[in-house]
Structure 1
Amino acid sequence: MSTTFFPNINPIQYEGTDTDNIFAFRYYDENRQIGDKTMKEHLRFAIAYWHSFCNENADPFGAGTRDFPWHKHSNPMDNAKSRLEAAFEFFTKINAPYYCFHDRDIAPEGSSVSESEKNLQEIVSLAKEHQQSTGVKLLWGTANLFSHPRYMNGASTNPDFAVLCHGGAQVKAALDATVELGGENYVFWGGREGYAALINTNMKRELDHLGQFLRMARDYGRKIGFKGNYLIEPKPAEPSKHQYDFDSATVVGFLHQQGLADDFKINVEQNHAILAGHTFAHDLQTASDAGMLGSVDANLGDNQNGWDTDYFPTDLYDCIHAMMVILQQGGIAPGGLNFDAKVRRTSSDLEDLFIAHIVGMDTFARGLLIAHDILENSNFLTMKQERYASYDSGKGSEFEQGSLGLEDLRDLAAEAGEPQRRSGKIELFEMLINNYIK
């Protein structure tokens, strides 16, 4: 692999908090042991191919501000090959163990289904060579079922069966590519699986079509040897007015209703949780409580903007709370933390891509350190458990076991009288978190 796209950037190393080198990690020491895993094993960082190597910082109001040296060819396949070279140079220099892609990120769409498949297969063969030479792995693959005009009314939920068939062809090819590259997960993001107007939508039929489509994809993937998790990434809206994968709770219910709960988990994104009116921790906890937290898209939404800003994660509190959820469920593998994030439109230098990832990786690494310290060395878990102590024995325990009736609750309330007021101690919990930020 040639090293020509980032000639002035050396491989990023851990140098600790005393360094003044902006091209160094201050907290992310991949070999540092935290509990039973190294930082690398806990965090399982991945780079998003689309934002980092395809998105030139264009927005609805202006052209791109990043000049990509790998987009200099007139032939789209030549650009795809150069982009692949640049991506793997970046992966290795930033020291990321994984990457993620949409099918159309790594290979251009052709003039027919067969040509599109041929393009993808050619680039996948090259990507496999790069993976073998660098050791970088594929965290997950997916199909872009939202950009092409044919998907303006959705893919698997489209009222036109012919469009659904095209979506199926793309997912088949993307699953083939994911298996060929040893991908550990496969993601579905329903950007247009929803509606623009309810008045012309048969919502029940579309949801049933979505369930059937996912079952077909599940069965095909298992048939060709895919053993990983299928993931659904919730988002409430944008580009659709309402998307069927609104939030973690909605997806949990849908998966159980459609008989998909044994094979599918949830890929939670911070920015999407914010757009749903939740916090990052809320959607993570909801998925984890259901046994369905499978992976994370690590970014940051802007509470002043009602759209998908996808900033790099710099909110330490967010990362602490996220890592507390992940640590308590025993880790995120075979998922990981994928930087589905883009540099700001005004960050136009190639080096900004490195700086943004360094900041994001360090923020999550610091969040991991603090979260582990809290869970291991504070009374946080005891404080939380004590709030529910009345259910651990006696009548409270009988209630949880289902051995009381409503009449029993009435008699117990009448006998005990007005209960003592018990403080939730929210500020004390917040103080505890702050006291462990060092």
Structure 2
Amino acid sequence: MSTGFFDGIAPITFQGRDGTDPLAYRHYDPEEVVLGKRMEDHLRFAVAYWHSFAWEGGDPFGGQTFVRPWHPQDDMGRARMKADVAFEMFDLLGVPYFCWHDLDLRPEQGSFAANRDTLNEITDYLGEKMQGNKTQLLWGTANMFTDRRWMGGASTNPDPDVFAFAAATVKSCMDATHKLGGQNYVLWGGREGYETLLNTDMGAELDHMGRFLSMVVEYKHKIGFKGQILVEPKPQEPSKHQYDFDVATCIGFLRKYGLESEVKLNIEQGHAILAGHSFEHELALAVSEGMLGSIDMNRNDYQSGWDTDQFPNNVPEVALAYYHILKGGGFTQGGTNFDAKLRRQSIDAEDLIAAHVGGMDVCARGLKAAAAMIEDGGLDAALAERYAGWDTAEAKAMLDSDLATIAQRVEREGIAPQPRSGRQEILENYVNRFV
């Protein structure tokens, strides 16, 4: 039975690049084969439960602008209505996955036992809706940043009782994710950092965070969860400094605590920008270290210094992102989660559908451009030419040598290298041929 929220909106179909319907796919054809794989299987789109259904339109300077039938989100009847609307949208879009925080699904109850029980209740309801439905769970996670109990962190909190509450919360969320067949479990440490070093023991907090993540891995194996455990880098906001600052920091953290073979990364475009990087950089680094798990796709406003979580609309950026994903072998259990939200003035149900349609089309265009560049081989050829000198036996032997021996060779052979062009503009022009 329809909730009526999306009345008048038909299932979204592929109409091709000449289509003009704002509620139709122009580039995303799930059946189109790209590099030997269906587009849907490459992109593995997911809808974020929090921004699409739980967020009420507030920002740091203003309150609720969205008035939905399931507001206020304070009882289980409305939680079930929210789930009904969510699955109607999943069906309209034809997306294969969705993602959630526990607080998106059920109202805050105050006590752990009540939170667990209501999470289990809504998990059973979601499980019933997922039976025979195309849309399945990409990942679940725990919201350990909204309630005031988390103001000093979760696993890094100076109060051991908060650490215990966090451990119990994550266990319940992992159980729910496992029960629903989720393909990943994500930890995002929005409060795992500090506001000031004046009251922070950084070494102790990092050790506690490392032990907490080790417990997560141990529990994964105990319950037989086959999904990936992922951590999500972000440099700041809401904390002044978050310990999972960027990809490089996370990799160093995982290696320090011996978790690099058990945990991978969920990388968000907007978080990369806040860290002073490009999305392309963060993905390339993760791929080079074998640490890419999944992505959150969105964008920031480049004139704002905070995480605006807008839907993607920059095809060249997205193309370079998927170029590195494809070069790394593509997703296995991860996917493309739209961690993106409407603007506060986009208050209609149609806006929610149109935002996802546009985002999926941008990703599809980016994927096809990335695949075309890989098939053309121009970037690979340029890299091979630039580093060709390292293919010689003499160059390879130098890496096993020492400074004195190398210095003798430079003097003996009169080596006086001349600079060579990096050809950046030529390569940028090359990319623009495809995007």
Q: TM-score range by the shorter chain?
A: over 0.9
Where in structure 1 do 4 or more consecutive aligned residues deviate above 4 Å?
none
Cα distance in 2 for partners of 1:344, 1:384 equals 41
Of 429, 432, 435, the residue aligned with 2:433 is 435
Correspondences of 1:31-430 after superposition (within 5 Å) = 31-71=31-71, 76-399=75-398, 402-414=399-411, 415-430=413-428
Residues 196 and 242 of structure 1 are in contact (CA less than 8 Å); yes or no, is this contact kept in structure 2?
yes
Measured in 2, the distance between the counterparts of 1:31 and 1:411 equals 61
Equivalent-residue separation in structure 2 for 1:321 and 1:253 (angstroms): 25
Number of residue pairs aligned between Structure 1 and Structure 2: 434
Structure 1 window deviating more from structure 2 (387-396 vs 165-174): it is 387-396
Cα distance per residue 1:289-345 (max 9 Å; x no partner): 110010000000112111010000111111111110011011112000000000111
**5+ long unaligned stretches in structure 2:** none
CA contact 1:234–1:246 (8 Å) conserved in 2: yes
Q: 2:198 and 2:407 mapped to 1: Cα distance?
A: 46
* Cα distance in 2, alignment partners of residues 137 and 97 from structure 1: 6
Task: Give the Cα separation in 2 of the matches to 1:339 and 1:388.
Answer: 37
- Shift in Å at residue 3 of structure 1? 4.7
**Secondary structure in structure 2 of the residue aligned to 1:187:** strand
* Matches of 1:381 and 1:215, distance apart in 2: 38
- The DSSP-based 3-state class of the residue aligned with 1:109 is coil
One-letter identity of the residue aligned with 2:344: R
Instruction: After TM superposition, give the deviation of residue 385 of structure 1 in Å.
Output: 1.7
Q: Distance in 2 between matches of 1:72 and 1:30?
A: 36
Normalised TM-score (structure 2): 0.98
Conservation of the 8 A alpha-carbon contact between 1:71 and 1:83: no
Name the aligned partner's letter for residue 41 of structure 1: D
Output the amino acid matched with 2:416: E
- Give the C-alpha shift of residue 153 in structure 1: 0.5
* Displacement of 1:431: 0.6
TM-score by length of 1: 0.97
Deviation at 1:150, TM superposition (A): 0.7
Q: What is the distance in 2 between the residues matched to 1:311 and 1:119?
A: 31
Q: Name the CA shift for 1:252/1:64 in 2 (closer, same or farther; >3 Å).
A: same
What SS does structure 2 have at the residue aligned with 1:14? coil
What's the RMSD between the two structures over aligned residues? 1.2
Question: How far apart are 1:72 and its partner, in Å?
Answer: 6.3
Paired with 2:274 and 2:68, the residues of 1 have a C-alpha distance of 30
**Aligned counterpart, 1:22:** 22
